Amino acid sequence: MGALVSLASVTGSSFAHAGPVFDEVVSTGKLVCLVSPSAPGFSVPDSSGVFQGFNADFCRMAAAAILGDANKADIRGVGFSDSLKNLVSRQAHMASRSITETGTRSADPGLSFVATTFYDGQGFMVPKALGVKSAKELKGATICAEDGSTTLLNIADWFASEGIEYKIENIADKTARLQAFYAGKCDAYASDMTALAADRQLAKNPNDYELLPEVISAEPLTLVTQPDETLGKAVRWAFEVMLNADELGVNSTNIDATIADLDKQPKAVQRLFAKDGATADMAAKMKLPTDWAYQVIKQVGSYGEVFDRHLGPSTPFGLTRDGSQNASVKNGGLMYAYPIR
């Protein structure tokens, strides 16, 4: 999802592709990471103003890997278009806020897409009182959507293919957009399915609304950094550590016991956490702390652990990975852990 903006026009300078941004993170001792200012389950400030959520934890993942301390992630809530502009103008190091990787965005010299954390798709939310059970019943409906976003393009493509007339209420500000929808100014609200699930929790009575079954697009939601090769590799492989740990059954609660008995663990686990394992070799080449993989899992957790913590069956979202695109490839999903060896 998100705005279509001409990012290359923000600055005419060339972009470094190895080291300087990473070195800035290390020298300042903080990693500036952008998230959505209000996305329940993904990034919302707690009572102390600290952002919590699925996306926020990938900011902490990067800080744990690079700086050895997840708390050194400087997590800031910023609107979608501003987050992309802030990356291009070098006001932030990375963004973890449900940004879809597209061809034109990936081609922009001011952005680097490094790891897909969630596979999603665009859909629609409607009031139950509307009596609609399918998007194909939205003939003549007014739909609230983000002004200038890929959401509008997906809507146009899908409704044209179905031969259905519709109207758009373009509202750039998310808060205003949701207020308009919940006030009845729109018949439907369009966004990524996970965003819809989160936004429904912001309604006065969430049970008064439902998500329609149609998923009308592919939305690979991806971590974005400034284009710095060293930073990109650190973020990408920290995420791969989380995926590998997930497949191997290692998480923040059992990692210390696992390491205490490392000689009896499978070779794949040893390569992840042994002092002379593959991640130690990677650390020397990537300028990371020698125990970076341990810190990622101990301080943040495995991928499945983070998913369940914020989106899983015991949360208001009640999502299960099994049978979804976000399951491990071993369980029929798309989450493919690259080998660390």
Residue 76's φ and ψ, nearest 5 degrees, are -125, 135
Asked if residue 207 is part of any domain, the answer here is yes
The reply to whether 194 and 247 lie within a common domain is: no
Asked if residue 68 is part of any domain, the answer here is no
Asked if residue 1 is part of any domain, the answer here is no
The reply to whether 180 and 140 lie within a common domain is: yes
- pLDDT at residue 5 tops 90: no
The reply to whether 149 and 204 lie within a common domain is: yes
Q: Which residue has the tokens 């954390």?
A: 117
The stretch 290-301 carries a mean pLDDT of: 98
pTM for the structure as a whole:
0.88
pLDDT at res. 173: 84
pLDDT at res. 53: 97
Residue 250, domain extent: 235-302
Q: Angle at Cα 235 formed by Cα 107 and Cα 328, nearest 5°?
A: 95
What is the distance of C-alpha 288 from the center of its chain? 23
Residue 166's φ and ψ, nearest 5 degrees, are -155, 170
Beta strands per DSSP E along 171-245 = 188-192, 209-211, 219-225
pLDDT at res. 318: 87
The reply to whether 192 and 127 lie within a common domain is: yes
pLDDT at res. 125: 97
Tokens of 315: 């949360």
The reply to whether 130 and 209 lie within a common domain is: yes
- pLDDT at residue 270 tops 50: yes
The reply to whether 213 and 252 lie within a common domain is: no
Please give the Cα distance from 193 to 212 (Å, whole number): 9
* % pLDDT > 90, the chain: 82
Task: Give residue 149's pLDDT band: very low, low, confident or very high (50, 70, 90).
Answer: low
pLDDT digits (tens, 9 = 90+) for 229-259: 999 999 999 999 999 999 999 999 999 999 9
Which is nearest to 221 in space by CA: 98, 335, 121?
A: 98
CATH value at residue 195: 3.40.190.10
The reply to whether 138 and 195 lie within a common domain is: yes
Asked if residue 114 is part of any domain, the answer here is no
32 or 4: whose pLDDT is higher? Answer: 32
pLDDT digits (tens, 9 = 90+) for 84-134: 899 999 999 999 998 999 999 999 999 999 999 999 999 999 999 999 999
Domain count, the chain: 2
pLDDT at res. 6: 42
- pLDDT at residue 7 tops 60: no
- Contact by Cβ (8 Å): 73, 10: no
For 45, the enclosing helix (H) or strand (E) is strand 44-45
pLDDT at res. 9: 40
Q: Which residues pair with 44 in a beta bridge?
A: 52
pLDDT at res. 148: 59
Q: Residue ranges of the alpha helices (H) in 68-189?
A: 80-88, 103-107, 150-162, 174-182
Please give the Cα distance from 154 to 167 (Å, whole number): 14
